[in-house]
Amino acid sequence: MQHQDQTYEGFSGTLVTDPAFSGPRPGVLVFHSIAWRGPIEMDAAERLAAMGYAAFVADTYGRAPEGPEDCREMMNALNADRAELRRRIEAALNWMRGSGATNGQHGAIGFCFGGKCVLDLARLGEADVKAVASFHGLFDRPTWETATTIPTAVLALHGWDDPLAKPDEVLALAEELDAAQADWQILAMGGVSHAFTNPGAKDKAGGKNYDARATARAWAATESLYAEAFRAEA
């Protein structure tokens, strides 16, 4: 895999591509969890690159955090200022649009806090954003006015036992996406907690626990989502 570190508007990211594929290709943004850019995001980018996409591991913090509490403070600040979070999401998308690595079709995946980011990206209503996949994401709506119609296909990969996105929030997301005439899917998996893609999550009692089967199912659904979304305009 080829890794190219990039800077954009005060942020840092990494473009990952597979040299086995040539020329511009669909581009997929990868948005990080509360813990910032780490092995889970880089592994996801390599997996996407191996599928033939240009994957860009984006940044919403603007600097490397100094530890877990610093991560939490930066995430909470963005949760409290969704307009600023939107600006940072758009900065990553605009970098990818101008990178020359993509063919004009874009998507995104995100983990936990990053799952919220990709839902906000879909809420922008951008025609070139074909599909997003939110892995154990957060579903609360932003304070800014979302698009009346969402042309982006939305996949929410959700553990039913996730304490951070309870059933009423799942239903609210479905109602929101229905109202925006979105093509949406929610894969809600029974007995699955928050952070189910993170091998380091081992707090089942606290609602955060790794689940290999759920991770495999989530990735299979994501592969299918992108194969359909990007093929539609190939």
104-126 tens-digit pLDDT: 999 999 999 999 999 999 999 99
Tens digits of residue pLDDT in 21-56: 999 999 999 999 999 999 999 999 999 999 999 999
Q: Which residues of 46-64 are buried (b: 16+ CB within 10 A; e: fewer)?
A: bbbbebebbbbbbbbbeee
Domain of residue 26, residue span: 2-231
Q: What percent of the chain has pLDDT over 70?
A: 99
Residue 234 has pLDDT above 50, yes or no: no
Domain count, the chain: 1
The whole-number pLDDT of residue 231 equals 83
CA distances (Å), origin 57, targets 143, 165, 210: 25, 24, 22
Query: Which CATH number goes with the domain that contains 107?
Result: 3.40.50.1820
Instruction: Look up residue 21 and give its two tokens.
Output: 């594929």
The whole-number pLDDT of residue 42 equals 97
Phi, psi of 37 (to 5 degrees): -75, 120
Tens digits of residue pLDDT in 55-93: 999 999 999 999 999 999 999 999 999 999 999 999 999
